[in-house]
C-alpha cells in the first residue's frame, strides 16, 4: 500500500526550510510514499477574520465551512492536506516563533476543527501523523517558541506529532547544506514518518530524541507556572503546549525534570478526549454570555461609547 505524505513549507524558495523538507520527503518517496509538496508563499491565503461563523454553525450541528472558502487557496490546500497519512511542516523562525506566512495558514483551520466536526458526525475520524521542522539563524535561545508554536497548530486538525527537528544556526540561504549532521537528521525524519504511518494508529509513538524538551508527554521545551483554571483545576507547573500538569522535581544528580502528576493529562491537548475538555470550557464560558439577554443588552449599551469614539488613524 502506498502512503500519502505531504510537505508544507513557508521559507525562502530553495532556502533552508525547503531543502530540509525535501530531504525528508525524498526518504519517504524512496520508501514508496506518494509525495506532494507545497510552499505556502506560492499561494494566496487570507487572514482568519475571527467571525467564528464556522464554530457557531458547528454548535448547531452543521458544517458551514469558512466564509473565505471561495476567496483564496486555503480550501484547495486543505482538501489535499486532510487526505494524507502524514504531513511534514518546515517553517523558518521569525522573532522566536513560526513565520507568519505559516501562522496565517494555520489560523484558518478553525473551520476544520476535527473534534467539533467528528462530534456532530460531519466527518469521519482519520489518523494522521506529523513531523515538524523549525529553521532559524540562531540557537535554541532565539527559537524559544518556534517548534512550540508549530506544535500548537497541530491540534485543530488532529495531527499526531511523532518527530521534531530544531534546525539551528543556519541563517544564510541554503546554508543547511554545509551541515551534514542536520541533513542526515532531516532524512531520518522521513524514515520516522514512514515508520509511524506503517504502525497501527493506537501504537504510534514519539520517534524523535527520547530526552527532547521538558515535557515527557509532547516533548515541548516550554513550561509555565500554573494558575487556577476555569473549573478549579490547578497544577503548579504546566506544559505550555499540551497542557500537561505537574511540578519540577530535582533528581539525585542535581538536574531538574518536569514530572506529570497523576491527573496531569486530564486536559492533554494532543488527544481528542483532552480537547473535549476545552469544548466544555467554551460551552460553559459562552453559555454564560450568549444565553443571557440581560448581559447582551448591557454589553450593547456599554459598547456604544467605544463604537462612537474615533481617533486619528494612519
Ligand atoms: C524577519 C526575520 C526574523 C528572523 N528572526 C529569527 C529569530 O528570531 N530567530 C532565529 O533563529 N532566526 C531568525 N531569522 C533567521 C531565519 O530564521 C533564517 O534565515 C532561516 O534560515 C530562514 O529559513 P529559510 O532559508 O527557509 O527561509 C529571522 C529572519 C527574518 C527574515
Q: Where are the domains of the chain?
A: 4-212, 218-314
For the CA of 176, the nearest atom of ligand 1: 21
* CB 251, CB 257: distance < 8 Å: yes
CA–CA distances in Å: residue 230 to residues 214, 278, 281, 285: 25, 10, 7, 9
Which of 94, 95, 141 most suits a substitution to test ligand 1, by most atoms within 8 Å of the C-beta? 94
288 CB less than 6 Å from ligand 1?
Answer: no
Nearest CA to ligand 1 atom 21: 171
DSSP code per residue over 182-198: HHHHHHHHHHHHHHHHH
> Taking 80 as the threshold, does the pLDDT of residue 287 lie above it?
no
Distance CA 59, CA 54 (A): 9
Distance CA 225, CA 42 (A): 40
For the CA of 12, the nearest atom of ligand 1: 27
- What does the pLDDT look like over 194-216, one tens digit per residue? 999 999 999 999 999 999 999 99
Give the Å distance between the CA of 221 and the centre of ligand 1.
19
Give the Å distance between the CA of 85 and the centre of ligand 1.
29
* CB 260, CB 249: distance < 8 Å: no
Query: Can you give the pTM of this predicted structure?
Result: 0.96
Longest alpha-carbon distance in the chain: 65
* CB 88, CB 54: distance < 8 Å: no
CA–CA distances in Å: residue 222 to residues 140, 143, 149, 300: 11, 11, 10, 39
Which of 92, 139, 148, 165 most suits a substitution to test ligand 1, by most atoms within 8 Å of the C-beta? 92
Distance CA 31, CA 249 (A): 42
The CATH superfamily assigned to 4-212 is Flavodoxin domain (3.40.50.360)
Among the residue ranges 47-51, 55-59, 102-106, 303-307, the one predicted with the least confidence is 55-59
16 CB less than 6 Å from ligand 1?
Answer: yes
* CB 106, CB 100: distance < 8 Å: no
Mean pLDDT of 149-166: 96
- What does the pLDDT look like over 119-148, one tens digit per residue? 889 999 899 999 999 999 999 999 999 999
Mean pLDDT of 49-57: 92
Give the Å distance between the CA of 135 and the centre of ligand 1.
7
Distance CA 91, CA 165 (A): 11
What whole-number percentage of the chain has pLDDT above 90? 86
pLDDT for residue 194: 98
Helix (H, G, I), strand (E, B) or coil at 73: coil
Give the Å distance between the CA of 11 and the centre of ligand 1.
9
| Per-residue cell: 255 | 538536574
Distance CA 4, CA 126 (A): 13
Which of 20, 136, 140, 182 most suits a substitution to test ligand 1, by most atoms within 8 Å of the C-beta? 136
DSSP strand pairing (4-9 vs 237-239): unpaired
Amino acid at each position: 500500500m502506498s502512503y500519502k505524505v505531504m510537505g508544507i513549507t513557508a521559507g525562502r524558495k530553495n532556502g533552508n526550510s525547503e531543502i530540509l523538507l525535501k530531504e525528508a520527503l525524498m526518504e519517504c518517496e524512496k520508501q514508496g510514499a506518494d509525495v506532494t509538496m507545497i510552499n505556502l508563499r506560492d499561494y494566496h491565503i487570507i487572514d482568519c477574520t475571527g467571525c467564528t461563523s464556522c464554530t457557531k454553525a458547528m454548535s448547531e450541528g452543521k458544517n458551514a465551512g469558512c466564509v473565505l472558502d471561495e476567496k483564496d487557496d486555503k480550501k484547495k490546500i486543505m482538501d489535499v492536506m486532510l487526505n494524507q497519512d502524514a504531513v511534514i511542516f518546515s517553517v523558518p523562525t521569525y522573532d522566536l516563533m513560526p513565520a507568519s506566512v505559516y501562522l496565517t495558514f494555520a489560523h484558518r483551520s478553525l473551520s476544520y476543527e476535527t473534534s467539533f466536526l467528528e462530534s456532530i458526525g460531519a466527518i469521519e475520524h482519520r489518523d494522521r501523523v506529523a513531523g515538524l521542522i523549525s529553521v532559524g539563524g540562531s540557537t535554541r535561545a532565539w527559537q524559544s517558541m518556534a517548534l512550540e508554536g508549530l506544535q500548537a497548530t497541530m491540534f485543530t486538525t488532529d495531527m499526531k506529532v511523532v518527530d521534531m527537528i530544531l534546525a539551528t544556526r543556519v541563517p544564510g540561504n541554503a546554508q543547511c547544506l554545509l551541515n551534514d549532521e542536520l541533513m542526515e537528521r532531516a532524512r531520518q525524519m522521513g524514515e520516522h514518518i514512514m515508520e509511524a504511518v506503517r504502525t497501527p494508529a493506537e501504537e504510534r509513538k514519539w520517534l524523535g530524541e527520547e530526552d527532547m524538551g521538558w515535557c515527557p508527554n509532547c516533548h515541548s521545551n516550554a513550561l509555565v507556572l500554573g494558575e487556577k483554571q476555569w473549573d478549579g483545576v490547578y497544577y503548579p507547573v504546566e506544559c505550555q503546549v499540551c497542557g500537561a500538569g505537574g511540578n519540577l522535581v530535582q533528581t539525585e544528580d542535581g538536574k531538574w525534570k518536569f514530572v506529570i502528576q497523576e491527573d496531569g493529562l486530564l486536559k492533554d491537548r494532543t488527544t481528542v478526549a483532552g480537547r473535549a475538555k476545552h469544548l466544555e470550557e467554551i460551552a460553559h464560558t459562552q453559555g454564560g454570555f450568549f444565553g443571557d439577554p440581560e448581559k447582551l443588552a448591557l454589553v450593547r449599551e456599554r459598547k456604544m461609547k467605544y463604537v462612537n469614539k474615533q481617533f486619528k488613524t494612519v
